[in-house]
């Protein structure tokens, strides 16, 4: 099968009649980029599933956001209509209710707007002006932030950013968090959080006896972001937190990694923040 010629139609002069051949070539250019109808689906059919730059992130309290990035704007086809957001799209407050259930997230086309809105339903069946873009879990009281998943190429884990917080062998016998066993960082968490679906603290840590602890601390706001602990004695032991995206600072902040033990010694030789986009 030979490659299609595109464009297959030719320029015509004013007053020149359009032949059936020229008309059919114009139609093939528009529908199948010059390919034979038997060899390609129509362009509209091909683009019906198009989606780009659409990710779902947690937005307090119990809301979701499709974050806007000017270099990668949220773009998708909804029932044959080309939609593109020009700003972040937020789920309205109070959208969740009732007992624990899986909820489905929809993008909605709106008359008179080239953007889209967000809505929820416990049914995954899309309405006349909707497109299913993700899912999440409501526990009856709050949104489970670890359950948020977009049905797009940008699903959690498709793109990952690792920020190393600590990368050398360090041990301590301190039983309280002490300033001499600390790694400090000054990071713009607003940029790191933008478009992220989840964030985790991962540490290679172990204890000679009892329990070893690692704390990720927000020095700017004097608040613990997350604490990890282990009783493992293997030097190859990795510990991972739950999703801490919502607990991270929203702007530039000084943070630090600290460690302590309830026994004789604990070691930490590597730790990092992992962002999933």
The dihedral over CA atoms of 132, 189, 216, 199, expressed in degrees to the nearest 10, equals: 20
Predicted TM-score (pTM) of this structure: 0.56
* Same-domain check for residues 141 and 59: yes
User: Could you tell me what percent of the chain has a pLDDT over 70?
Assistant: 97
Q: Which of 67-76, 153-162, 168-177, 215-224 has the highest mean pLDDT?
A: 215-224
| Token code pair at residue 132 | 């299913």
- Is 264 within a domain? yes
- Residue 158's pLDDT band (cuts 50, 70, 90): low
CATH code at 239?
2.60.120.260
User: Could you tell me what percent of the chain has a pLDDT over 90?
Assistant: 63
CA distance 174 to 166: 18
Give, in order, the Cα–Cα distances in Å from 117 to each of 37, 66, 94, 106, 265.
Answer: 35, 10, 15, 8, 54
Per DSSP, the residues of 216-263 read: EEETTTTEEEEEEEE----TT-EEE----GGGS-SSEEEEEEEEEESS
Residue 18: CB atoms within 10 A of its CB come to: 10
pLDDT digits (tens, 9 = 90+) for 227-267: 999 999 998 899 999 999 999 998 999 999 999 999 999 99
- Residue 153's pLDDT band (cuts 50, 70, 90): low
Give the pLDDT mean for 144-162: 72
* Same-domain check for residues 139 and 203: no
Q: Which domain holds residue 253?
A: 160-276
Would you state the pLDDT for residue 83?
97
* Same-domain check for residues 267 and 172: yes
CATH code at 101?
2.80.20.10
pLDDT digits (tens, 9 = 90+) for 195-229: 787 899 999 999 999 999 999 999 999 999 999 99
* Total structural domains within the chain: 2
CA distance 151 to 80: 18
- 152-157 long-range CB contacts below 8 Å, 24 or more apart? 152/51, 152/54, 152/55, 153/51, 153/52, 154/53, 154/54, 154/55, 154/277, 156/197, 156/198, 156/276, 156/277, 157/276
Would you state the pLDDT for residue 9?
87
Would you state the pLDDT for residue 148?
86
């Amino acid at each position: 099968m030979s490659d299609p010629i595109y464009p297959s139609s030719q320029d015509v002069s004013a007053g020149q009649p359009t032949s059936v051949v020229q008309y059919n070539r114009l139609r093939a250019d528009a529908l199948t980029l010059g390919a034979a109808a038997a060899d390609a689906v129509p362009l509209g059919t091909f683009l019906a599933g198009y989606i780009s730059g659409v990710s779902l992130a947690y937005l307090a309290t119990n809301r979701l956001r499709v974050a806007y990035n000017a270099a990668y704007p949220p773009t998708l086809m909804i029932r044959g209509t080309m939609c593109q957001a020009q700003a972040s799209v937020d789920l309205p407050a109070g959208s969740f209710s009732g007992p624990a259930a899986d909820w489905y997230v929809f993008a909605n086309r709106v008359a008179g707007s080239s953007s889209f809105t967000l809505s929820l339903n416990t049914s995954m069946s899309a309405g006349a002006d909707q497109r299913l873009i993700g899912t999440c879990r409501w526990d009856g009281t709050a949104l489970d932030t670890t359950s948020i998943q977009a049905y797009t190429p940008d699903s959690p884990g498709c793109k990952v950013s690792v920020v190393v917080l600590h990368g050398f062998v360090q041990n301590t016998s301190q039983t309280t968090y002490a300033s001499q066993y600390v790694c400090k960082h000054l990071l713009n968490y607003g940029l790191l959080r933008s478009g992220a679906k989840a964030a985790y603290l991962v540490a290679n840590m172990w204890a000679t006896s009892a329990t070893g602890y690692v704390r990720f601390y927000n020095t700017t706001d004097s608040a613990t972001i997350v604490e990890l602990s282990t009783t493992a004695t293997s030097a190859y032991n990795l510990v991972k937190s739950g999703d801490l995206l919502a607990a991270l600072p929203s702007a530039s902040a000084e943070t630090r990694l600290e460690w302590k033990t309830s026994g004789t010694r604990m070691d930490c030789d590597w730790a990092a923040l992992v962002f999933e986009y």
